[in-house]
Amino acid sequence: MARNREGLVLLLDVGPSMHKVLPEVQKICSMLIQKKLIYRKFDEVGIVIFGAEDTDNELTIEVGGYEHVVVLRNIKVVDGDIVEALQELPRGTVAGDYLDAVVGMDMLIKKYQLTNKGKKRICLITDAQNPIKDPYKGTKDDQVSTIAVQMAAHGVRMETIIVRGRLGEDIDQRIVDENDHLLHLFSEKTSAKTVYVESPTSLLGALRTRDISPVTIFRGDLEISPKLKIKVWVYKKTSEEKFPTLKKYSDKAPPTDKYATHEVKVDYEYKSVEDPSKVIPPNQRIKGYRYGPQVVPISSVEWDAFKFKPEKSVKLLGFTNASNILRHYYMKDVNIFIAEPGNARAAIAVSALARAMKELNKVAIVRCVWRQGQGSVVLGVLTPNLSEKDKTPDSFCFNVLPFAEDVREFQFPSFSNFPASWQPSEQEQQAADNLVMMLDLAPPGKEEALLPEFTPNPILERFYHHLELKSKQPDAAVPPLDRTLKKITEPDPQLFSESKSVIEALCKSFEVKENPKLKKSTRRLLQEKPSGSDDEGGYGDTSNALAIKSDESQLLAKADKIGDLTPVQDFEAMMSRRDNPDWVAKAIKDMENKICNMVENCKGGDNYCKALECLVALRKGCILEQEPKQFNDFLHHLFRLCQEKKLGNFWEFLASKELTLISTSEAIDSEVTEDEAKNFLVKKLPKLE
């Protein structure tokens, strides 16, 4: 086995106490093999089950004992047969003894011997609730120590997943404690890790289904000052798991060609505009960049001359209180700073600095250029990460911080500035608070639900499952979402049933009604269709409707003026923009001009309704943005305009809709009382003769 390959043995407890979770065990192990088929197709995997009715292993023949242990699959290169074997695990009839499953370690030792440099790993999945048989010689602790010494000598790592929910009354707590103690000994004496899970959902995320070797992104000095530098290495601590890179596949190769790669290669040819038959060679081509109607040619030499080329370095800019760096400032993935391995002076310096920062509650701001010639500079924060284990040195966690242009400040009006009629009562506030507390994933006294380290990505899990089906059945449809994964994507029915009283109290306090789904694309297309269009009877081009639907939010977000087709939507989009405080004033002013223009050209009917819609939108926006005076002044101006233009019918139309001034009951900043607002509608305009 090569150095970069892994030999893995799955030790699976199939005893009666594990029957309830075996479907999830099958899924997680199948997912492990499916990912290896994509990312590490030369890895080797074996399967051993214990607690089975039968016995089938070499140690039983050689030395005796090791009963109810079955080698389901010997160690071999991963293939589809292993996936099928894992999806049909037998149900055992005997309580499982995980120490008997040491057969798996014996398989690894015999397979790879001492000289092999590949990675060797054992993954044990059990509930550890059943008693362990006493050894023929010595104690159970001695037996575990002997096994651990052999594992360490042969470079075998162990990963244990203990599936244990709430213990029933029939479970002997003494046996559980003894098993936990024995498994803890493995962690002390060898490279072993033990994880406890309580739910099927956590089990799906507990097993590391993809092994990624850590790679340094920086090796060099952490420069505290020109005279003080610490040798450090920087690794990625976390990274987003993404979809595998999918390549194009060609079926044009002859079926008889065994060596066909079926790869699709794309070649580009650049031809002259004057002579399309002439191919331009690379040494005669130059990149061009548009500047208005012109194309400006820039050679690679000129481009390199203008590039910013900072020196590779990590420099300390200063320290600040940890409270000044808020959690939502963090961007991208987390890196880990460690002292250079084998450098005792660097380890002491990192530890001293980290512990001093922790004691003073400080964090460090650093400027990072990870490699020579890197075009961008990264600004980040170093947070001390103190180790609780003697053999693990202290380190720093690094998070990228945003620059000033990366920060978006969104301004929202305070609820306290709204009128009293809009303020929630104590009962309503309490009902809303109870609903929020009910939806807390980490309630006091309970284990947090959907722990990030134990929660798989349901989209990726479904993708790999579909990929495995497609490998067997090319025409296989996308399978439905797994029942366990639905618990991640859908509300928890048990939580809602237990908190039924909280939901009923909320419904009694507020008017709750279903919000119907509207087909925005078609309606918006009809609204924005020009009156002189050739196709006024039909729905028009459906591709345009889809384009409007998909780009609707982008169009609204980028609105910078109020158009003639959708003035209300444009106004709301401008009011919602927070990249500049002047947008609100501009939106109000533009809407006032739009309404005046409509009124001056008003001919009744639809124009009356459209002007009213704009006026209602303006009124609502002025209340939300606490600008009642601006609307009230405009309504007085509109009244005078109707007098000058002799538009009494339009004013009566507004009065019939009871649209009036903004009073103090709606906005605290208003100078108009409720009586003044009501009396304003009584104003009459002279009718046209």
Domains of the chain: 6-206 (3.40.50.410), 214-404 (2.40.290.10), 567-683 (1.25.40.240)
Residue 126 host element (H or E): strand 119-126
Report the candidate in 147, 314, 158 with the shortest Cα–Cα distance to residue 225. Answer: 314
Query: What's the full length of the chain, in residues?
Result: 689
Say yes or no to pLDDT of 556 above 60. Answer: no
Say yes or no to pLDDT of 28 above 70. Answer: yes
Report the candidate in 66, 41, 31 with the shortest Cα–Cα distance to residue 52. Answer: 66
> What distances in angstroms separate CA 533 from CA 306, 389, 537, 550, one per listed residue?
50, 75, 10, 23
The Cα 540–Cα 549 span in angstroms is: 14
Report the candidate in 168, 228, 231, 158 with the shortest Cα–Cα distance to residue 188. Answer: 158
Q: What is the pLDDT of residue 531?
A: 37
Residues 234-269: tens digit of each pLDDT: 999 888 888 888 888 888 888 888 888 888 888 888
Of all residues in the chain, what percent carry a pLDDT higher than 70? 87
Are 181 and 140 in contact, with CB atoms under 8 Å apart? no
Per DSSP, the three-state class of 594 is helix
Q: Give the residue-averaged pLDDT of 415-421.
A: 74
Among 116-125, 286-295, 309-318, 548-557, name the one with the lowest average pLDDT: 548-557
pTM equals 0.64
Place of tokens 């051993």: 48
Alpha carbons within 13 angstroms on the beta-carbon side of residue 3 total 1
Residues 303-358: tens digit of each pLDDT: 888 888 889 999 999 999 999 999 989 998 899 999 999 999 999 999 999 999 99
Residues 570-628: tens digit of each pLDDT: 888 888 876 777 788 888 888 888 888 888 776 655 577 888 888 888 888 888 888 88
| Confidence at 116, pLDDT banded by 50, 70, 90 | low
CA end-to-end span of the chain: 102
Give alpha helix (H) positions in 406-457: 426-438
Are 395 and 336 in contact, with CB atoms under 8 Å apart? yes
Residue 257 Ramachandran class (φ > 0 left, ψ -120 to 50 alpha, else beta): beta
- 284 secondary structure, DSSP code: G
Q: How many CB atoms lie within 10 A of CB 349?
A: 19
Say yes or no to pLDDT of 232 above 90. Answer: yes
| Confidence at 114, pLDDT banded by 50, 70, 90 | low
Say yes or no to pLDDT of 404 above 90. Answer: no
- 47 secondary structure, DSSP code: E
Instruction: Give one DSSP letter per residue of 393-416, joined into a string.
Output: --EEEEEE---GGG--------GG
Q: What is the pLDDT of residue 547?
A: 38
The residue that leads in pLDDT, 221 or 65, is 221
Report the candidate in 91, 49, 99 with the shortest Cα–Cα distance to residue 71. Answer: 49
Are 548 and 569 in contact, with CB atoms under 8 Å apart? no
Radius of gyration of the chain (CA): 35
Per DSSP, the three-state class of 417 is helix
Are 47 and 73 in contact, with CB atoms under 8 Å apart? yes
Report the candidate in 61, 26, 9 with the shortest Cα–Cα distance to residue 484. Answer: 26
Most confident region among 111-125, 408-422, 494-508, 674-688 by mean pLDDT: 494-508
Helices (H) and strands (E) counted in the chain, each on its own, are: 23, 15
